Structure formats: structure tokens, C-alpha cells
């Protein structure tokens, strides 16, 4: 409903004004979901320890985990630009897959990672996948493998056919992608927040989605 009203506003109002009105409506909807649904759902985890949390689950809900997203599939529906509703040192593992790139850099993503560090217990693991922009740029320069471009066609919209169109979609994804990461930049960000033992890792079939192997950067970090 909110998405439909936003589109109507964008069409009915002058360019710029319609987009601003639609964006405001979207933000108000996000706020109401977080305050009403998210806060209520999070109460059941108060005082819990050794939690396993998935940030930005979308439709890929993990059984036995606390799945967080704005989507109705989530256990806790909330805007993750807000403080995570969990106690200090309450989580054993935090996982995300192709979500962190949707948070603005550097301020909001730093705030989110600081909050992740806060709720992780000592020795707790933060493990994630983001789009591998190093792979995208190398594929443009060197041609890329057939498997890489097959994955790009599978994930990209119908209007993408040239290499530059796919690159632009990777970086922007219709405005949903806020920053592009490589291992060096992600290591800097995690280190500045206070994570240790930061490293690239391999695809983990127990955690990661098989259809995202090609084009993903996988990394681990821990709390001291």
C-alpha cells in the first residue's frame, strides 16, 4: 500500500517534489514498523544470551536464528539504522548476506557495526557477505568468466545488456545500494569500529546462499 501511494505521488507531483514526498512516506512507514512491530517483537529476547542474529534476512529466514528485516517474514521487523533492541554481550553470532551495502557510508554503517560489536559477547563472531566490487571492476577490465556474466544476467534487470550497465546496476541497484566494498575498505571499517581477527573467508554452505557464490565477498571478524 505504501509503495503504491509513493508511486502515485511521484507521478502526480512535479519531478523532485514527488520523489521527496514518496521518500518521506516511505520513511514514516519504516519508522512505524520499527516502533510498533519491532519493539514489541524484540521483548521476547530480553535477557537472552547466545543469540544468533541475521541482519537483513529478506525472504531467506534462518530457522533457530533471530531474523531481522522490515519484511513481514522477519522475526523482528525494524529499521537497522536504529539501535538494535538486544542487550550488551547477548549474541554469539551475527550474520548478514548482501545487506550491509544498503546502509549509508561512513556514518550509518559505522553506527550499525558499533551496535553489532556492543551486542556480541566476548569472542563473538560477525560474519557476512557483500557484493565483491573488486570482482566487478576486474571483470570489466579483463572480460570476466562466463559464470560471472551468467550470474550478472540472473540478478540484473531486463534493461542490462552491456558491461557498463551491469556495473552501474551493481553500484546502485536502483538507488538501494549505498556503498560498494572491497576487502581493504571493509577491513578498515571493521578495525576502526573495534573488531579484531578480520579476514576474508570462503563460501560456507551452512551459512551462505549457493546462488550468491559468484560475485560475493565473504568476511569474518570477532569481538575481543
User: Edge-to-edge, what's the strand order for the sheet holding 120-131?
Assistant: 76-77, 66-69, 51-55, 91-97, 120-131, 216-222, 196-200
How many independent structural domains does the chain possess? 2
Q: Supply the pLDDT for residue 37.
A: 74
Q: Supply the pLDDT for residue 66.
A: 97
Contact 148, 136 (CB under 8 A): no
DSSP class of residue 175?
T
- Same domain? For 31 and 68 the reply is no
Whether the per-residue pLDDT at 62 is higher than 70: the answer is yes
Q: Where are the beta strands (DSSP E) in the chain?
A: 51-55, 66-69, 76-77, 91-97, 120-131, 196-200, 216-222
Chain segment 63-90, per-residue pLDDT in tens:
999 999 988 899 999 988 888 999 999 9
- Same domain? For 184 and 99 the reply is yes
- Same domain? For 16 and 120 the reply is no
Return d(Cα 48, Cα 14) in angstroms, integer.
50
Contact 23, 32 (CB under 8 A): no
Return d(Cα 42, Cα 30) in angstroms, integer.
16
Q: Predicted confidence band at 208 (pLDDT cuts at 50, 70, 90)?
A: very high
Q: Supply the pLDDT for residue 25.
A: 65
Q: What is the pTM of this model?
A: 0.86
Contact 118, 126 (CB under 8 A): no
- Same domain? For 113 and 144 the reply is yes
Centre a 10 Å sphere on the Cβ of residue 86 and count the other Cβ atoms it contains: 23
- Same domain? For 149 and 72 the reply is yes
Chain segment 161-186, per-residue pLDDT in tens:
998 999 999 999 988 999 999 999 99
- Same domain? For 14 and 118 the reply is no
Q: Supply the pLDDT for residue 54.
A: 98
- Same domain? For 21 and 54 the reply is no
Q: Predicted confidence band at 17 (pLDDT cuts at 50, 70, 90)?
A: confident
- Same domain? For 30 and 111 the reply is no
- Same domain? For 37 and 68 the reply is no
- Same domain? For 35 and 144 the reply is no
Residue 13, classed as helix, strand or coil, is coil
Q: How wide is the angle at C-alpha 184 spanned by C-alphas 183 and 190, nearest 5°?
A: 85
CATH number of the domain at 97, please: 3.40.50.150
Cis peptide before 106 (omega within 30 of 0): yes
Residue 33 domain boundaries: 1-45
C-alpha torsion 64→65→71→72, nearest 10: 30
Residue with cell 563472531: 125
Task: Please state the φ and ψ torsions of residue 200, each to the nearest 5 degrees.
Answer: -75, 145
- Same domain? For 52 and 37 the reply is no
Return d(Cα 145, Cα 148) in angstroms, integer.
5
Contact 69, 57 (CB under 8 A): yes
Q: What percent of the chain has pLDDT over 90?
A: 66
- Same domain? For 98 and 188 the reply is yes
Amino acid at each position: 500500500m505504501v509503495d503504491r501511494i509513493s508511486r502515485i505521488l511521484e507521478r502526480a507531483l512535479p519531478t523532485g517534489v514527488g520523489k521527496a514526498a514518496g521518500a518521506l512516506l516511505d520513511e514514516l512507514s519504516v519508522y512505524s514498523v520499527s516502533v510498533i512491530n519491532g519493539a514489541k517483537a524484540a521483548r521476547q529476547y530480553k535477557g537472552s544470551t547466545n543469540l544468533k542474529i541475521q541482519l537483513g534476512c529478506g525472504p531467506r529466514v534462518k530457522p533457530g536464528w533471530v531474523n531481522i528485516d522490515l519484511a513481514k517474514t522477519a522475526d523482528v521487523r525494524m529499521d537497522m539504522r536504529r539501535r538494535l533492541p538486544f542487550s550488551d554481550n547477548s549474541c554469539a553470532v551475527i550474520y548478514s548476506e548482501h545487506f550491509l551495502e544498503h546502509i549509508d557510508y561512513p556514518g550509518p554503517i559505522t553506527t550499525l557495526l558499533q551496535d553489532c560489536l556492543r551486542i556480541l559477547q566476548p569472542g563473538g563472531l560477525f560474519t557476512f557477505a557483500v557484493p565483491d566490487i573488486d570482482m566487478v571492476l576486474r571483470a570489466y577490465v579483463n572480460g570476466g568468466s562466463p559464470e560471472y556474466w551468467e550470474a550478472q544476467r540472473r540478478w540484473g534487470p531486463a534493461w542490462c545488456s552491456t558491461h557498463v550497465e551491469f556495473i552501474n546496476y551493481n553500484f546502485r541497484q536502483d538507488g538501494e545500494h549505498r556503498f560498494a566494498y572491497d576487502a581493504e575498505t571493509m577491513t578498515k571499517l571493521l578495525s576502526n569500529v573495534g573488531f579484531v581477527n578480520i579476514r576474508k573467508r570462503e563460501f560456507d554452505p551452512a551459512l551462505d546462499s549457493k546462488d550468491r557464490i559468484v560475485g560475493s565477498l565473504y568476511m569474518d571478524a570477532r569481538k575481543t
